[in-house]
Amino acid sequence: MTKFFTLETAGIGLAVASLAFASPSFAESLTVDKVLELNALQVGDDAIIAKIQSDGTVFDLSTDDIIELRKKGLSSGVVAAMLKTKGGPKVSLDSPDPMVPHAAGLYVLEGEGAAAKMNKMNFTVSSQAKTGGLLGYAFTGGIASMSVKVAIQNDTAPVKTNGTPRFYFFFENTTQEGAANTWASGANTFVTSPAEFTLVQLMKKKGRREARVGSMNIAGAKSGVMDKDRLAFRANEVRPGVYEVTPAQPLQPGEYGFIFSLGGAGTGGALTARIFDFSVG
């Protein structure tokens, strides 16, 4: 449990007795009194700051507390180190518990039981587009459809999973370092829900994979992933800004990806897409 100490609850008073050093298994938690005692013993700011950083105690200091500590002889460096303990929770990259803060991004849950962990997925951005069915489109005067595809490099995704994967989207803080790069969808805009993604099966080609993001025939043009290419998934918000996502049906072996269009480019943004790709073995 996180420990909080205020000057009021600690009952500040300079200790006059020598500091008793307990064995590590019975070491006492660091308190405001102990910090003052260490300072009175002149162990040095570097040692006190190192102890503050390694102990794990969170010091909840008001402005009056800070003034009182300075009056009692603590340096500004030590006070600053105490204030930094309340800088916010540390984030994880592999905890299997979605209630634990994670770095912003998309994760797939791997393993079971004690061996379970989350694997953070990296995205690929593709702005390379190609057409398919051009000859049929030309020979039929536009009656047959011509498809527009984006290409994703490499034959297969680096992330491997099974046919019933469980994913977690962490959108909880778009101001978090790295979040803007992961979830930006345009100028000063961010994706904030799995509903803005499409799950698709990627078509495997030599040296690349492809996703259809548009079609054109004599009746007109469409942009975005075609309805018949979309795979249904379920999204459940487990806590604010964090979603658990599972495919509605087991996935067959192949290449897949969660895709969303980036605004302001291509055919309504469809030709510039961000893909979190994965492979089902």
Could you tell me the CA-to-CA distances from 43 to 13, 36, 38, 63, 138 in Å, in that order?
18, 11, 6, 26, 84
The answer to whether the CB of 191 falls within 8 A of the CB of 238 is no
Q: Between residues 141 and 238, which one has the greater pLDDT? A: 238
Mean of pLDDT values over 55-83: 88
pLDDT band at 151 (very low <50, low <70, confident <90, very high): confident
pLDDT at 281 over 60: yes
pLDDT at 7 over 80: no
pLDDT band at 274 (very low <50, low <70, confident <90, very high): confident
pLDDT of 132 = 57
Per-residue pLDDT of 26-65, as tens digits, reads 446 789 999 999 999 998 999 999 888 888 788 888 888 9
**Residue owning tokens 């009952």:** 11
Cβ count within 10 A of residue 240 = 7
Question: What mean pLDDT is reported for the chain?
Answer: 78
Closest CA to 256 of 206, 214, 199, 213: 199
Domain layout of the chain by residue ranges = 4-84, 105-280
pLDDT of 21 = 36
pTM (predicted TM-score): 0.63
Could you tell me the CA-to-CA distances from 160 to 95, 120, 165, 199, 206 in Å, in that order?
18, 12, 10, 16, 19
Phi-psi region of 44 (alpha: psi -120 to 50; beta: other; left: phi over 0): left
Beta bridge partners of 108: 119, 167
* Cα 185 from Cα 220, distance rounded (Å): 27
Beta bridge partners of 260: 274
The answer to whether the CB of 259 falls within 8 A of the CB of 200 is yes
**Token pair for 124:** 């690929």
Mean of pLDDT values over 104-115: 93
**Residue 223 dihedral angles phi and psi, to the nearest 5°:** -120, 155
**Residue owning tokens 């069915």:** 133
* Cα 86 from Cα 67, distance rounded (Å): 18
* Cα 109 from Cα 267, distance rounded (Å): 34
The answer to whether the CB of 109 falls within 8 A of the CB of 116 is yes
Query: What's the one-letter identity of residue 226?
Result: M
**Residue 31 dihedral angles phi and psi, to the nearest 5°:** -125, 175
